């Protein structure tokens, strides 16, 4: 697989999770998730105001790691 193809694959997987967690859990299915409570939080409310943000941070660092590995595999130096 070429560098660019591998890159696009990584992008699409991460962006799908990004979409499901924020727009899915936080908005579209949020009211359904509200039926579940964790501590004092309704789950849909928690995803909308807390959870989605934590997931965003994790996603970027997963991406950074995958891309660093990919860069190494293609062994080119980061010029400039």
According to the binding rule CB under 8 A, does residue 32 interact with another protein?
no
d(CA 41, CA 15): 26
For the packed helices 3-19 and 52-73, what is the interaxial angle rounded to 10 degrees?
170
| Smallest separation, CB 1 to another protein (Å) | 13
Q: For the chain, where are the alpha helices, taking DSSP H only?
A: 3-19, 30-33, 43-46, 52-73
| Smallest separation, CB 13 to another protein (Å) | 11
Tell me which residues touch another protein (CB under 8 A). Answer: 3-4, 7, 11, 14-15, 18, 22-23, 26-28, 30-31, 34, 38-42, 45-46, 48-50, 52-54, 56-57, 59-61, 63-64, 67-68, 70-71, 74, 76, 78, 80
């Amino acid at each position: 697989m070429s560098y660019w193809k591998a890159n696009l694959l990584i992008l699409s997987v991460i962006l799908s999770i990004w979409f499901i967690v924020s727009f899915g859990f936080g908005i579209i299915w949020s009211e359904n998730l509200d039926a579940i409570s964790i501590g004092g939080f309704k789950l849909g409310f928690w995803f909308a105001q807390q959870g989605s943000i934590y997931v965003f941070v994790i996603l970027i660092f997963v991406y950074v790691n995958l891309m660093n590995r990919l860069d190494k595999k293609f062994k080119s130096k980061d010029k400039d």
